[in-house]
Chain A
Amino acid sequence: MADLKVKLGKLQLKNPVMTASGTFGYGTEYSDFFDISRIGCIVVKGITLRKREGNAYPRMAETPSGMLNAVGLQNRGIDHFIKHIYPEIKNVNTNIFVNVNGSTVEEYIEVAEKVNDLDRIPGIELNISCPNVKEGGMAFGVSCPAAATVVREVRKVYSKELMVKLSPNVTFITEIARAVEDEGADSISLINTLLGMAIDAESRKPILSTVTGGLSGPAIKPVALRMVWQVAQEVKIPVVGMGGIMNARDAIEFFLAGASAVQIGTANFIDPTVSMKVLEGIEDYLNRHKFNSIYDIIGAMTIEG
Chain B
Amino acid sequence: MKKFILDLIVKENEHINEDYFVLKLTSNDKLPHILPGQFVEIKVENSPTTFLRRPISVNFYDKELNELWLLIQIVGDGTRKLSEVQVGDTLNLILPLGNTFSIPEDKNARLLLIGGGVGFAPMLFLGAYLNDLGYRCDFLLGGRSEANMVQLNEFKRYGEVYITTEDGSMGEKGYVTQHSLLQKKQFDMIYTCGPTPMMQAVASYAHKRNIACEVSLENMMACGFGTCLCCVTDTVDGNLCVCTEGPVFNITKLKWQI
Which among A62, A74, A266, A268 is the interface contact of B229 at CB below 8 angstroms? A74
Which among B225, B229, B230, B233 is the interface contact of A272 at CB below 8 angstroms? B225
Interface flag for B256 (CB, 8 Å): no
Q: A53-B239, A71-B229, A272-B94 are in contact. Are A62 and B51 (CB under 8 A)?
A: yes
Binds A, one of B1-9, B83-91, B172-180: B1-9
Chain A hits for B222, CB < 8 A: 60, 62, 67, 69, 266, 269
Majority SS at the chain A contact face: loop
Binds B, one of A23-31, A87-95, A184-192, A252-260: A23-31
Q: Spell out B's residues near A (CB within 8 Å).
A: 2-5, 43, 49-53, 94, 219-234, 238-239
Majority SS at the chain B contact face: loop
* Top-8 shortest CB links A-B: A60-B230, A25-B227, A269-B223, A32-B3, A59-B230, A71-B229, A29-B227, A269-B222
Tell me, in angstroms, the Cα distance from A24 to B223 when the chains sit together.
10
Interface flag for A217 (CB, 8 Å): yes
| Interface size bracket, A side | 35 or more
Tell me, in angstroms, the Cα distance from A225 to B178 when the chains sit together.
58
Mask, A59-93, CB within 8 Å of B = 1, is: 11111111101010010000000000000000000
Tell me, in angstroms, the Cα distance from A192 to B168 when the chains sit together.
53
Q: In whole Å, how far is A187's beta carbon from the nearest beta carbon of chain B?
A: 24
Do the beta carbons of B228 and A74 come within 8 Å of each other? Answer: no
Chain A hits for B43, CB < 8 A: 270-271
Interface flag for A222 (CB, 8 Å): no
Do the beta carbons of B52 and A54 come within 8 Å of each other? Answer: no
List which A27-70 residues lie within 8 A (CB) of chain B.
29-30, 32-33, 45, 53-54, 56-67, 69
List which A246-305 residues lie within 8 A (CB) of chain B.
266, 268-273
Chain A hits for B221, CB < 8 A: 60
Mask, A207-231, CB within 8 Å of B = 1, is: 0000000000110000000000000
Interface flag for A22 (CB, 8 Å): yes
Tell me, in angstroms, the Cα distance from A32 to B232 when the chains sit together.
22
Do the beta carbons of B51 and A71 come within 8 Å of each other? Answer: no
Tell me, in angstroms, the Cα distance from A270 to B78 when the chains sit together.
14
Tell me, in angstroms, the Cα distance from A69 to B223 when the chains sit together.
12
Do the beta carbons of B232 and A74 come within 8 Å of each other? Answer: yes
Do the beta carbons of B225 and A58 come within 8 Å of each other? Answer: no
Do the beta carbons of A270 and B232 come within 8 Å of each other? Answer: no
Chain A hits for B234, CB < 8 A: 56-57
Chain A hits for B224, CB < 8 A: 269
Given contacts A268-B223, A269-B224, 7 further A-B contacts (CB under 8 A): A60-B221, A60-B228, A61-B220, A62-B51, A218-B51, A269-B222, A269-B223
Q: In whole Å, how far is B31's beta carbon from the nearest beta carbon of chain A?
A: 16
Chain A hits for B231, CB < 8 A: 57, 59-60
Chain B hits for A271, CB < 8 A: 5, 43
Listed by A's residue number, 8 A-B pairs whose Cβ atoms lie within 8 Å are A23-B228, A57-B239, A60-B231, A62-B50, A62-B52, A67-B222, A217-B51, A271-B5
Chain B hits for A60, CB < 8 A: 220-222, 228, 230-231
Tell me, in angstroms, the Cα distance from A22 to B230 when the chains sit together.
10
Tell me, in angstroms, the Cα distance from A65 to B221 when the chains sit together.
16
Which among B50, B94, B225, B230 is the interface contact of A71 at CB below 8 angstroms? B230
Of chain A, the residue at the smallest CB distance from B232 is: A57
Do the beta carbons of B229 and A54 come within 8 Å of each other? Answer: yes
Which among B5, B50, B227, B238 is the interface contact of A268 at CB below 8 angstroms? B227
List which A9-27 residues lie within 8 A (CB) of chain B.
22-25
Between B50, B228, B234, B238, the greatest number of chain A beta carbons within 10 A of the residue's beta carbon is seen for B228
Q: In whole Å, how far is A202's beta carbon from the nearest beta carbon of chain B?
A: 13
Do the beta carbons of B52 and A270 come within 8 Å of each other? Answer: yes
List which A167-211 residues lie within 8 A (CB) of chain B.
none
Of chain A, the residue at the smallest CB distance from B2 is: A32
Q: In whole Å, how far is B89's beta carbon from the nearest beta carbon of chain A?
A: 19
Tell me, in angstroms, the Cα distance from A88 to B65 when the chains sit together.
39
Do the beta carbons of A25 and B226 come within 8 Å of each other? Answer: yes
Q: A64-B49, A66-B51 are in contact. Are A272 and B228 (CB under 8 A)?
A: no
Tell me, in angstroms, the Cα distance from A218 to B48 when the chains sit together.
12
Do the beta carbons of B52 and A269 come within 8 Å of each other? Answer: yes
Chain B hits for A69, CB < 8 A: 222, 228, 230
Chain A hits for B94, CB < 8 A: 272
Chain A hits for B52, CB < 8 A: 62, 67, 269-270
Of chain A, the residue at the smallest CB distance from B224 is: A269
Chain B hits for A269, CB < 8 A: 52-53, 222-224, 227-228
Q: In whole Å, how far is A218's beta carbon from the nearest beta carbon of chain B?
A: 8
